[in-house]
Structure 1
Amino acid sequence: MTEEQRKQKNKKDNGLLAKAAIIGVVAGLLGGGVSYAGLNAANVANNNSSAGSSATTSSSTSSNTGETGSVTSSSKGTTSVNKSTTSSGTMTAAYKKVQNAVVSVLNYKYTSSSSSNSDLYSMFGYGDDSDSSSSSSSKKSLTLYSEGSGVIYTTASGKGYIVTNNHVISGAAKVKVILASGKTIAATVVGKDATSDLAVLSIDSKYVTQTASFGDSSALQSGQTVIAVGSPEGSEYASTVTQGIVSSPSRTLTYNGNQMTVIQTDAAINSGNSGGPLVNSDGQVIGINSMKLSSSTSGDSVEGMGFAIPSNEVVTIINQLVKNGKITRPQLGVMVAALDELNSYYKKQMGISSSLKKGLYVAKVTKGGAADKAGMKKGDVILKADGKTVNDVATLHNILYNRKVGDKVSLTVQRGSKTITITVALEASK
């Protein structure tokens, strides 16, 4: 083959390779399997063009190792499985520490049905209290209303305790859980709290084969690898594991009119994941998956924005729920925003001094609330609470959760160019 012919052949092969690769990429937008097949065909074409006829005339098995890899050939064109293949990684070990502790949570509600007789009576003004049992056959039956996830975290006094989201079991007439083994058993609601969106369930401890442990969420860093475990779209996909990274260890959101500090992650979290654990590489639960952002205010689709309740707050809440069945939460009566989450434009618009880098900006003071009675004003910046620096909502919440209604909290506040101290008598949340 002349040099000119060789150039023409290489140009043709490169064109075919590029075309195959483009087909693979386009197909990838429609389905990963097709994309893989297309790219694989491109790689085969490339190998054939570079190997020439020697690939088809080899009469013995050999391996030629170069700087970028190795080429193995066989006389019969057969291959085998490499038994030394690594079958586990860091997150596999982490998953194994929680896999049998994760459960699916089933919310059952009553639905009623009435016969045509009862409908006829109601048309003429007679209620369901008619003393004729034959004329009214209104029935109530338990129906599966929704599914979520949960995680078993401890056992005590013959009970296994499960943490999940409040919205997962909200309004339930009966709650059941599906264990990792596939067995469905009854569960009892120990306590629930709408403000934090947390709830605790209990089951007979004889069914518990593994419990998960909590890690320190305050030690989380952006970029840290995590996995989310749960039952997205229901128990049919129980024990689904998705991996992502921590985008923000402490993001402030408003949920049902209440401020929450959450962990933001891009691990896939879908309907049914609610109540399941967010797990670090040590196999520790560092958050309870609670919600995701699926679309922006303008209606644009959003991907990779899931949120979990930090484990440190979870532990504080569920311990109180187990002890008291409910949360009596002292509050200041303010809505705040962490300064380090506000960009320079918003700070300027709100009149916040550029010299202030840390603290909580008071965006709203509830009229007649505890802070209002103590003299706090909109625009104040809370720097400390009881002498402790507060740079995020979670820190302030933890300080308040360790106080009782009626306790007094000393707040160091920046108001304009002055630093003042305000003492607030905490009131019960409403």
Structure 2
Amino acid sequence: MKQKQEKKQSGLKNGLFGGIIGGLTVALLGTGVLVGSGTVDMSTFNDSSTITEVDNKGTDVNNISLNITTGTTEAVEMVEDAVVSVINLKESVGNPFGFTMPQTETDDSGLAMNGTGSGVIYKTEGETAYVVTNNHVISGADAVEVLLKDGTKIEADIVGSDVWTDLAVLAISSKDINTVAEFGDSDSLNVGEPAIAIGSPLGTEFATSVTQGIISATERTVETDINGDGLVDWDVTAIQTDASINPGNSGGALINIAGKVIGINSMKIASSNVEGMGFAIPSNDVVNIIAELEAQGEVIRPVLGVSMVDLQQVSVPQQREVLGLPEDVTAGVVVAEVLGLSAAEKAGLEQYDVIVGMAGEKISNMVELRKILYRQEVGSTVAIELYRKGNLGTVEVTLVDGQDQL
């Protein structure tokens, strides 16, 4: 049951938490964010080629026809028609100088391209085809279009999206769809096996571009900043690859040599000192999430109904004077605000409580708290261990469902 929640105002942002600083994160691959590097296997674009040889005198020319079909080219042929460009459209807003924003060409509907990414058609049902992409590709869109490999443009409806897994599902007409991708088993991947990325780097002009590399790691934990505040608020377990993944590749396919989708390309390390470190959401995770998005339009998770900050972001003098913490308490999560009518308010949580445990597990930061919280069932009651004014105690909270919050 979803409840209307009202914030209790506090002075935390200007007082206790005014000096928060950010951590190292990765960049989501929106168009124009970052240009990456990698190896493009040019043989993946053709089945055959003609090589011209000229002797030293320049008089004789021999045409040698080579068959360059490889496992890579065969894998790409199996899935490339199912990889599409996803176009995020926004309403153009006029200004006193006569320009429109976003400042890109608009169509008759008054919509302008706000960004592009990639997507993968993974099934058809009757007159509908389903496309998986990244949440950040379609976030904030007033409308979405899908561009097929043959240039056909189709209007898309957003079936559902999830900010924490960065996945979204779109629905389009199946009229012009002849190929759907198949998911492989990401749990069976081996480090060093071939990996092939397909997508639209830098926009639709480079749609269905192919790059090749290897699986660099199968279960890499990557810290991410979901809300753009410069702080780490989630971590993702992802497939690492050195196949070149560039802006616009978001939502595209990472496939194995058998032509199966083993991941959805999502992000890369955003640093001038790093090359060849791209990440994809494992296919087994994708399959589970898109099933929920198809069924209910969102991933239902339990929430407490609070805003929080890591204890490490609070100065030591404030930990002692404001929070009243003992010197041996150095990690935890501080309750910054309690939302009205929330599960937390009903359970008696208060501002400046410092949470150090939940459901029998220790908590050091907000990421750990979210991980533990999201493993619980909506409607269940969990024990939260916390310090209040220096005293250790326990509060029982009955969890309700919600989205995009704690």
Does TM, scored on the shorter chain, surpass 0.5? yes
In 2, Cα distance between equivalents of 1:96 and 1:233: 22
2:342 alignment counterpart: none
8 Å Cα contact 1:266/1:306 also seen in 2? yes
Tell me which residue corresponds to 1:372. Answer: 357
Letter in 1 for 2:266: S
1:91 Cα shift? 1.0
Kept in 2: contact 1:153–1:212 (CA 8 A): yes
Q: C-alpha distance in 2, partners of 1:331/1:265? A: 34
Deviations 1:301-339 (A, max 9, x none): 31101010000111111110000011112479999xxxx
Distance 1:316 1:95 in 2: 25
User: Given the alignment, which residue of 286, 298, 308 partners 1:326?
Assistant: 298
Q: Measure, in 2, the Cα distance between the counterparts of 1:283 and 1:314.
A: 17
Change (3 A) 1:319 1:88: same
Q: Indicate yes or no: 2:259 matched with 1:283.
A: yes
Aligned 1:410-425 pairs, distance under 5 A = none
**In 1: Cα distance, 2:56 partner to 2:97 partner:** 77
Change over 3 Å in CA distance of 1:364–1:150 after alignment to 2: farther
Deviations 1:250-298 (A, max 9, x none): 1111221122111111010000000000000110000000011130xxx
d(CA) in 1 for partners of 2:69, 2:275: 28
Q: Is it true that 1:306 corresponds to 2:278 in the alignment?
A: yes
Structure 1 alignment gaps of length 5 or more: 1-71, 118-138, 336-362, 381-392, 411-422
Q: Partner of 1:112 in structure 2? A: 93
1:215 aligns to 2:184 (yes or no): yes
Partner in structure 1 of residue 82 of structure 2: 101
Partner-residue secondary structure (3-state), 1:185 = strand
**Structure 1 counterpart of 2:145:** 176
User: Is structure 2 residue 105 aligned with structure 1 residue 157?
Assistant: no
**Greater RCO (Cα-Cα under 8 Å, separation 6 or more):** 2
Relative to its length, the structure with more strand (as a share) is 2
Alpha carbons of 1:75 and 1:276: their partners in 2 closer, same or farther (altered >3 Å)? Answer: closer
Give the 3 Å change call, closer, same or farther, for CA 97–364 of structure 1 in structure 2: farther
Which AA in structure 1 matches 2:281?
A: I
Letter in 2 for 1:259: D
Pair 1:250 & 2:219 matched: yes
C-alpha RMSD over aligned residues: 3.8
The one-letter code sitting in structure 2 at the alignment partner of 1:158 is E
Say whether 1:262 aligns with 2:238: yes
Is contact 2:355-2:363 (8 Å) kept? no
CA contact (8 A) 1:225 1:244 kept: yes
Match of 2:80, SS?
coil
| Code of the aligned partner of 1:274 | S
Distance 1:179 1:366, change over 3 A: farther
Which residue of 1 is the match for residue 72 of structure 2? Answer: 91
The 3 A distance-change label for structure 1 pair 376 and 177 is same
Matches within 5 A, 1:66-145: 77-83=59-65, 85-114=66-95, 141-145=110-114
Which position in structure 1 is the counterpart of 2:199? Answer: 230
CA contact (8 A) 2:72 2:257 kept: yes
Q: The residue matched to 1:99 in structure 2 has which SS?
A: helix
Aligned equivalents of 1:425, 1:79: Cα separation in 2: 81
Contact 1:331 1:370 (8 Å CA) reproduced: no
Question: Deviations 1:368-402 (Å, cap 9, x if unpaired)?
Answer: 6998343432479xxxxxxxxxxxx9xx979967x
Relative distance call for 1:269 and 1:405 in structure 2 (3 A) is same
Shift of the 154–140 alpha-carbon distance from structure 1 to 2, 3 Å rule, reads closer
CA drift at 1:111:
2.2
Q: Is the 8 A contact 1:109 1:172 kept in 2?
A: yes
Q: Which has the larger radius of gyration?
A: 1
Same amino acid, percent of matched pairs: 44
In structure 2, do the counterparts of structure 1 residues 315 and 86 end up closer, same or farther at CA, with 3 Å as the change threshold?
same
**CA displacement at 1:112 relative to structure 2:** 1.4
Q: How far apart, CA to CA, are the structure 2 residues paired with 1:93 and 1:399?
A: 44
- Displacement of 1:114 in angstroms is 4.4
Alignment partner of 1:193 is 2:140: no
Q: Please give the per-residue CA displacement for 1:40-97, whole angstroms capped at 9, x wherever unaligned.
A: xxxxxxxxxxxxxxxxxxxxxxxxxxxxxxxx989984132223x2221111111011
Aligned to 1:5: none
CA contact (8 A) 2:87 2:116 kept: yes
Letter in 1 for 2:196: I
Mapping of residues 332-411 of structure 1, within 5 Å = 372-378=357-363, 404-407=377-380
Name the one with the larger helix percent: 1
- Aligned equivalents of 1:309, 1:284: Cα separation in 2: 14
Residue segments in structure 2 that go unaligned for 5+ positions in a row: 1-53, 99-107, 227-232, 310-330, 336-348, 384-395
Q: Which letter maps to 1:82?
A: I
Report the Cα offset of residue 199 of structure 1: 0.4
- Cα separation, 2, equivalents of 1:398 and 1:97: 40
Who is 1:414 aligned against?
A: none
> 3-state SS of the aligned residue for 1:93?
helix
2:303 touches 2:399 (CA, 8 Å); kept in 1?
yes
Counterpart AA for 2:64: N
Paired residues, what number? Answer: 282
